[in-house]
Amino acid sequence: MTAKIWLSAYQPGIPAEIDTNKYASLNEMLELNCSRYSNLPALSNLGGTLTFADLERESRDFAAYLQNVLRLPKGARVALMLPNLLQYPVAFFGVLRAGLIVVNINPLYTPHELQRQIKDSGAQAVVVLESFAYKLAEFIGSTELKAVITTAPGDLLPAPRRWLTNVVARHIGHRVRPCRFHHAIAFRRALVEGGSSSLIKVDIVRDDIALLQYTGGTTGIPKGAMLSHGNLVANVVQTATWIGRELKEGVEIAITPLPLFHIFSLTANLLTFISIGGHNLLITDPRDIAALVAFLRRTRFTAMTGVNTLFNALMNHPDFAKVDFSDLKLTVGGGAAVHAAVAKRWKEVTGVPITEGYGLTEASPVVCVNPLDIEDYTGMIGVPIPSTDVSIRDDGGNELPIGEIGEICVRGPQVMKGYWNAPDETAKVIRAGGWLFTGDVGYMREDGFIKFIDRKKDVIVVSGFKVFPNEVEDAAVIHPGVLEAGAKGVADARSDEAVKLFVVKRDPRLTEQELMAHLRQMLTAYKVPKVIEFRDQLPKNAIGKVIRHELR
Higher-confidence residue of 178 and 154: namely 154
Tell me which DSSP letter residue 143 carries: S
Name residues whose C-beta falls within 8 Å of residue 424's C-beta, 6 or more positions apart in sequence.
Answer: none
Q: What's the pLDDT tens digit per position in 12-57?
A: 999 999 998 899 999 999 999 999 999 999 999 999 999 999 999 9
CA separation, residue 372 to residues 241, 375, 468 (Å): 12, 8, 28
Q: Is the pLDDT score of 5 beyond 60?
A: yes
- Cβ 492 vs Cβ 524: under 8 Å: no
Q: Is the pLDDT score of 218 beyond 50?
A: no
Q: What local confidence, expressed as pLDDT, does residue 219 receive?
A: 47
* 160: preceding bond cis by omega (within 30 degrees): yes
Amino acid at 244: G
* Element spanning 102, H or E: strand 101-104
Q: What local confidence, expressed as pLDDT, does residue 431 receive?
A: 95
Is 256 strand, coil or helix? strand
Q: Is the pLDDT score of 182 beyond 80?
A: no
Task: State how far the Cα of 299 lies from the Cα of 162, in Å rounded to an integer.
Answer: 21
Task: State how far the Cα of 236 lies from the Cα of 304, in Å rounded to an integer.
Answer: 17
Q: What is the average pLDDT across 387-405?
A: 96
R_g of the chain, CA atoms, integer Å: 23
Q: What's the pLDDT tens digit per position in 286-338?
A: 999 999 999 999 999 999 999 998 999 999 999 999 999 999 999 999 887 88
- Cβ 300 vs Cβ 327: under 8 Å: yes
Give the β-pairing of 147-151 and 184-186.
parallel
- Cβ 317 vs Cβ 289: under 8 Å: yes
CA separation, residue 327 to residues 201, 241, 290 (Å): 40, 21, 21
Q: What local confidence, expressed as pLDDT, does residue 302 receive?
A: 98
Task: State how far the Cα of 143 lies from the Cα of 78, in Å rounded to an integer.
Answer: 13
Q: What is the average pLDDT across 484-512?
A: 91
Model confidence pTM above 0.85: yes
Q: What is the average pLDDT across 484-509?
A: 91
Q: Is the pLDDT score of 176 beyond 80?
A: no
Amino acid at 99: G
Task: State how far the Cα of 483 lies from the Cα of 395, in Å rounded to an integer.
Answer: 36
- Cβ 499 vs Cβ 485: under 8 Å: no
- Quote the distance between the C-alpha of residue 45 and its chain's center: 19
- Cβ 241 vs Cβ 18: under 8 Å: yes
Q: What is the average pLDDT across 357-362?
A: 96
Is 106 strand, coil or helix? coil
In this structure, the dihedral spanned by the alpha carbons of residues 435, 28, 385 and 283, taken in order and rounded to 10 degrees, is 110
The string over 369-403, giving b where at least 16 C-beta atoms fall within 10 Å of a residue's C-beta and e elsewhere, is bbbbeeeebbbbbbbbbbbbbbbbbeeeeeebeee
Q: Is the pLDDT score of 177 beyond 80?
A: no
Tell me which DSSP letter residue 212 carries: E
Average pLDDT, the chain: 94
Task: State how far the Cα of 335 lies from the Cα of 542, in Å rounded to an integer.
Answer: 10
Closest CA to 205 of 238, 221, 228: 228
Q: What local confidence, expressed as pLDDT, does residue 1 receive?
A: 65
When mean pLDDT is compared over 150-159, 170-179, 456-465, the highest value belongs to 150-159
Q: What local confidence, expressed as pLDDT, does residue 174 receive?
A: 59
Closest CA to 87 of 119, 57, 52, 127: 127
Q: What local confidence, expressed as pLDDT, does residue 542 receive?
A: 83
Q: What local confidence, expressed as pLDDT, does residue 2 receive?
A: 63
Task: State how far the Cα of 360 lies from the Cα of 219, in Å rounded to an integer.
Answer: 13
* 365: preceding bond cis by omega (within 30 degrees): yes
In this structure, the dihedral spanned by the alpha carbons of residues 491, 492, 498 and 504, taken in order and rounded to 10 degrees, is -60
Q: What local confidence, expressed as pLDDT, does residue 135 receive?
A: 92
Name residues whose C-beta falls within 8 Å of residue 307's C-beta, 6 or more positions apart in sequence.
Answer: 258, 333, 334, 335, 336, 338, 543, 544, 545
* Element spanning 485, H or E: strand 482-492
Q: What local confidence, expressed as pLDDT, does residue 33 receive?
A: 98
The confidence band for 543, taking pLDDT boundaries of 50, 70 and 90, is confident
Nearest-10 crossing angle of helices 308-315, 289-297: 70
Give the β-pairing of 366-369 and 354-359.
antiparallel
CA separation, residue 495 to residues 184, 236, 465, 519 (Å): 57, 46, 10, 19
Task: State how far the Cα of 257 lies from the Cα of 263, in Å rounded to an integer.
Answer: 13
Q: What local confidence, expressed as pLDDT, does residue 494 receive?
A: 78
Determine how many CB atoms are found less than 10 A away from the CB of residue 76.
20
